[in-house]
Structure 1
Amino acid sequence: MTLSEEIITIAAVVAGTMVTRFLPFVLFPANKKTPPLVVFLGKMLPTAVMGMLVVYSLKDTQLLSGYHGLPEAIAVALTVLLQATVRNLLLTIAAGTIGYMLLVQYIFV
């Protein structure tokens, strides 16, 4: 890349970042009521994203061979149990991931 192409690329990335950061404050100022669609999406999207992550994570699970999805089932149960008790999403996802990795690396070899 030439120097001018590098400068244009950096400028485009900076502009894109600034637009995505500042546009919500321009479209939805603090003194205006938030539109009902945005409120609805704010309530529903986190659950929908988590559902999509579960489907994506379990889509290649082989139920008819090997351990029949037992490590995945244990990791999902651990994740659900922690979320139900602790209610800390970061801890829940980390513990589920670490639990799954430990299961497939050391127990279900």
Structure 2
Amino acid sequence: MNSYVLSAIILSALITFLLRAFPFLLFKEKELPKWLEKLEKHLPMTIMAVLIVYCLKDLKTQLTTLFIPYLLACLTVVFTYKWKKNTFLSIILSTLVYMIFIRL
């Protein structure tokens, strides 16, 4: 591997690390601002709503073969998030439900 590619990889890794570490360095021992606490509280549900709208944007109003899997996946997202308040779990379970039902 030539030195240009190696230096690009190292620089990319360093920038990625610094960008991820920046919030922890900035708010190390301070209380979070109120707007950031509010954002932390509402952002996961907002992201879920955007993902649902994005996934349903191509769904036609007529009953197609994909309507039931879409509906079941959306219901899985809603109920899982309301139940566990875990965005990752909601996304994984709804994707699993969708993939199972499009294969049936």
Distance 1:57 1:24 in 2: 31
Structure 1: which 5+ residue stretches go unaligned?
none
Percent sequence identity is 28
TM score, norm. by length of structure 1: 0.75
Q: Which residue pairs with 2:51 in the alignment?
A: 53
Q: Larger Cα Rg: Structure 1 or Structure 2?
A: 1
- Whichever residue aligns with residue 13 of structure 1, its letter is S
- 1:7 is matched with 6
Rounded Cα–Cα distance in structure 2 between residues aligned with 1:9 and 1:43: 37
Shift of 1:82: 3.7
SS of the residue corresponding to residue 59 of structure 2 reads coil
Helix, strand or coil at the partner of 1:63? coil
RMSD across aligned C-alpha pairs, in angstroms? Answer: 2.2
Q: Can you give the 5+ residue segments of structure 2 that lack an aligned partner in the other structure?
A: none
**For residues 56 and 15 of structure 1, do their structure 2 counterparts lie closer, same or farther at Cα, with a shift above 3 Å needed?**
same
Question: In the superposition, relative to structure 1, how do residues 48 and 78 fare at CA in structure 2: closer, same or farther (>3 Å)?
Answer: closer
CA contact (8 A) 1:75 1:96 kept: yes
State the number of aligned residues: 103
2:73–2:95 CA contact under 8 A, matched in 1: yes
Q: What is the TM-score when the length of structure 2 is the normalising length?
A: 0.78
Aligned to 2:20: 21
**Residue aligning to 1:72:** 70
